Structure 1
Amino acid sequence: MESSPFSIAEWRAINLAAQGLLAPPADVAACVRQLGYVQIDSIQVAARAHQHVLHSRMADFTPAALDQALAHKRIFEYWSHAAAYLPMDDYRFSLPRKLALRGGDRHWFEKDSREMQRVLERIRAEGPLKAADFESKGHTSGPWWDWKPAKKALEQLFMEGELMVVRRDGFQKVFDLTERVLPDGISAEPPTPAEYARHLIRGYLKAHGHGSAKSICYLRSGIKTEVSAMLNEMRLAGELERFRHQGEEVYFSPSLTVPELPDKVWLLNPFDNLLIQRGRLKQWFDFDYQIEVYVPEEKRRFGYYCLAVLWRDRFVGRLDVKAERDKGLLRLKRLTLEPCAYDDDGNLLGFIEPMAQAINEFCRFNGLSRWKLEAASNATLKRHFSRQVWV
């Protein structure tokens, strides 16, 4: 087995560059293409996750730019490991899941073919519709397992590929027939297993710079054999090289170079592409991260909605945030620092000013005019940011 050509720190820098954090992508579609997907999430403690992920890579990002990319059919909504925006050019690689669901695989609930046909006929006749356009007498809104029949039918038709999302009204999906949404020139030919495996490998390495079969297959069942075989085929053909790290074979392109890192702090969303694979994050960044939204309040260690604080190539802290829009205030409920935030003598390293700049940018992005740090694990830091800051 070949030895690693780079140090751990250099691999981290390569990962950050591949994630689009060091040089802003040209636009929303280019960013989604670089990352492979951007996860959609409904939690709105501050800006929604998908908007925040894009902002972390493009300082001038606006939610309108995301809407435009969807309207111009440069991206589309479907399922990656979760609900996500995907590059339109990758449409055909969404087909294996769609065909499996059409063939009998179950998504969330039993499908109602009669209701699906009724919904489909209405959209065919009337044009784009959302769940609220379908009346359901005596049915009130509830959790996903208690959705009204039309909403279940819409989601099933969407997951099977009969419908696509044309836009969102608020956060509600508006659906139309796939045949009316899919742009000309986009292939609808299902990939072979080998093509699909190669697509996953190329996409993952483009987005991360390096990866193992396990990380490439993250939350995708039944494909590891094909991915492992394709990795070996690509290595033998000279397309990839490999080395062993912590018991895993790690693959990468031989054309990789190590980028320079700016003296910058990023406040990353809990659903950010860099954070989402917790095992990989621990392995390469030595950062043990868990979002505590789903943890009972009495068991939370760091806070309900903690952003990960990345300084250069190290995660130096966690910042629990809450946007109070009626007050124009970003509450920094608690900043908890990691051991790597300190030098050998226990002094804070020099990330305070880049940290303040990152908070200012995040505050402006959320449309807020001021922020205040309410608590911190470090007294020096708390004193430094003791006053309310206007941006």
Structure 2
Amino acid sequence: MKGAHVVYSEKLSISEAQKLVLLSQWLPAKYQKGKAHDATLSAIEHLGYVQIDTISVVQRAHHHTLWNRNRRYLPEHIDQLTQQRAIFEYWAHAAAYLPMRDYRFSLFRKQAFKEGRLRHWYNHDRALMEQVLERIREEGPLMAKDFSGASNNSKGWGSKPTKQALECLFMQGDLMVSERRNFHKVYDLTERVIPIDTDVSVPSEQEYARFLVTQYLRANGLGRVSEMTYLLKGLKTAVCGVIDDMLEEQTLVTIEVEGHHYVACLGAIDQLKRPISRTKAVILSPFDNCLIQRQRLKMLFNFDYLLECYVPKEKRQFGYFCLPILWAGELVARADCKVNKATATLEVLHLALEPKLVEKAAFMEAIEQELQQFARFNACDTFKIIRVTP
């Protein structure tokens, strides 16, 4: 940001910044009127995306993240919304469900892949891609397993050439995921998936950059250029330009938090007038939108978080799948959880409390109430805390 156009600036304390982030993230969840299914769509539209993940020691990340914004959430909502073409799968910073309302803005990235300005992690076998596309055009929706061809196990997941072709066609926008069957993708032609009235005009770089800025700030309260362009290549200059324009328009304001500079939408800090629950504990998914940028998390919440399922067992400090816990407006603990299907028990293998947690008795009462709800969400009859530290 050039700074020449800054006409309004605000200083926030760290606790005020945390509150703004949590209110913008809809944490803890508040009851929404209307159908539960509609509340789920509202959450996806507000957040902009919800990350999909395959780990299932507890409910998968996309279900968990949405349950934390809508306590009436049911896992079948995702399939329903996909079938209704209200959401679709594509790439945010990772594989995600996105609102169909924002479909047009996925085209900027898709076109970049198609034109070779972005490189896919798979090589493009264009002859095979055309064969795969033609078969789906003629036969209708197909899964990777519907195509013959040997896998090369040395290359790991998705190494079958036709699977690679499917994913390349998906990333460049020729194919979409029309549904999932037992969590496996079903691919179909894009024109047969999107609603007929969908805007398919490709946004300019400036339009796309403005979309990234406004979407990020709506869902996160305040942000910096590096956060708005997280894992997106080649967009920093365009986003900086848009922020300068929006500061000049006075649709953005600058925010200072303990010497660190952010921007926010005009009127965003008015949210601080709203109350936020400081008695309810919330168990978060490691892939929750609020947590995914670890440097931001450390700066704003003083919470140093590493998902240890990717760490060798002997080097883990907290456990395989530790879930951060929000309470009293801060991240104060983490719980290594696992569903024991044989006993229908949610096992908390390790509940680790942060040094900053002072009111331990009040926290333990709150976390036990939350664990009761989380157990039910995971189709368990009860929960069991096995180990607490310190």
Asked if TM exceeds 0.5, the reply is: yes
Q: Residues 143 and 326 from structure 1, CA distance in 2 versus in 1: closer, same or farther, beyond 3 angstroms?
A: farther
Aligned equivalents of 1:186 and 1:141: distance in 2?
40
Matched, 1:14 2:30: no
Matched, 1:120 2:133: yes
**What SS class does the counterpart of residue 134 from structure 2 fall into?**
helix
Match of 2:115 among 103, 107, 125: 103
Distance apart, 1:23 and its partner CA: 2.5
Matches within 5 A, 1:303-342: 303-342=319-358
Q: Deviations over 1:60-93 (max 9, x none)?
A: 1111111111110111000001000111111111
Aligned equivalents of 1:195 and 1:349: distance in 2?
50
Matched, 1:237 2:243: no
Aligned equivalents of 2:57 and 2:153: distance in 1?
22
Distance apart, 1:198 and its partner CA: 0.6
Matched, 1:23 2:64: no
Q: Deviations over 1:132-175 (max 9, x none)?
A: 11122x54777645621111111111011000011100111001
**What SS class does the counterpart of residue 100 from structure 1 fall into?**
helix
Aligned equivalents of 1:148 and 1:61: distance in 2?
36
Is this contact kept in 2: 1:17–1:23, CA < 8 A?
no
Matched, 1:250 2:257: no
Matches within 5 A, 1:271-350: 271-342=287-358, 348=360, 350=362
Is this contact kept in 2: 1:330–1:368, CA < 8 A?
yes
The match for 2:190 is 178
Match of 2:79 among 30, 43, 67: 67
Q: Deviations over 1:345-383 (max 9, x none)?
A: xxx2522222111101110001011211111104xxxxx
Is this contact kept in 1: 2:12–2:255, CA < 8 A?
no
Matched, 1:165 2:177: yes
Q: Residues 161 and 254 from structure 1, CA distance in 2 versus in 1: closer, same or farther, beyond 3 angstroms?
A: same
Letter in 2 for 1:28: T
Letter in 2 for 1:80: A
Is this contact kept in 1: 2:13–2:257, CA < 8 A?
no
Is this contact kept in 2: 1:200–1:216, CA < 8 A?
yes
Distance apart, 1:180 and its partner CA: 0.7
Aligned equivalents of 1:125 and 1:146: distance in 2?
24
Is this contact kept in 2: 1:109–1:145, CA < 8 A?
no
Letter in 1 for 2:66: L
Q: Deviations over 1:334-355 (max 9, x none)?
A: 0000012115xxxx25222221
**What SS class does the counterpart of residue 225 from structure 1 fall into?**
helix
Q: Residues 267 and 289 from structure 1, CA distance in 2 versus in 1: closer, same or farther, beyond 3 angstroms?
A: same
Q: Residues 349 and 342 from structure 1, CA distance in 2 versus in 1: closer, same or farther, beyond 3 angstroms?
A: farther
Q: Residues 98 and 144 from structure 1, CA distance in 2 versus in 1: closer, same or farther, beyond 3 angstroms?
A: farther
Match of 2:142 among 123, 129, 133: 129
**What SS class does the counterpart of residue 58 from structure 1 fall into?**
coil
**What SS class does the counterpart of residue 96 from structure 1 fall into?**
helix
Aligned equivalents of 2:18 and 2:81: distance in 1?
30
Distance apart, 1:3 and its partner CA: 5.2
The match for 1:89 is 101
Aligned equivalents of 1:16 and 1:163: distance in 2?
36
Aligned equivalents of 2:332 and 2:324: distance in 1?
8
Q: Deviations over 1:97-143 (max 9, x none)?
A: 2111111232111111111111111111111111011122x547776
Letter in 1 for 2:346: L
Q: Unmatched 5+ residue regions in structure 2?
A: 1-5, 33-37
The match for 1:382 is none
Letter in 2 for 1:331: E
Letter in 1 for 2:18: R
Matches within 5 A, 1:140-219: 144=156, 147-219=159-231
Letter in 2 for 1:260: P
Match of 2:276 among 261, 274, 286: 261
Q: Unmatched 5+ residue regions in structure 1?
A: 379-391
Distance apart, 1:243 and its partner CA: 2.8
Letter in 2 for 1:94: S
Q: Deviations over 1:213-261 (max 9, x none)?
A: 1111111111111111111110111101103345543111231221212
Letter in 2 for 1:20: W
The match for 2:3 is none
Which stretch has the larger CA shift, 3-12 or 121-130? 3-12
Q: Which has the higher contact order (CA 8 A, sep 6+)?
A: 2
**What SS class does the counterpart of residue 210 from structure 1 fall into?**
coil
Which stretch has the larger CA shift, 365-374 or 250-259? 250-259
RMSD after superposition = 1.7
Matches within 5 A, 1:344-363: 348=360, 350-363=362-375
Q: Deviations over 1:307-329 (max 9, x none)?
A: 00100311110100111112211
Is this contact kept in 2: 1:335–1:375, CA < 8 A?
yes
Aligned equivalents of 2:153 and 2:67: distance in 1?
32
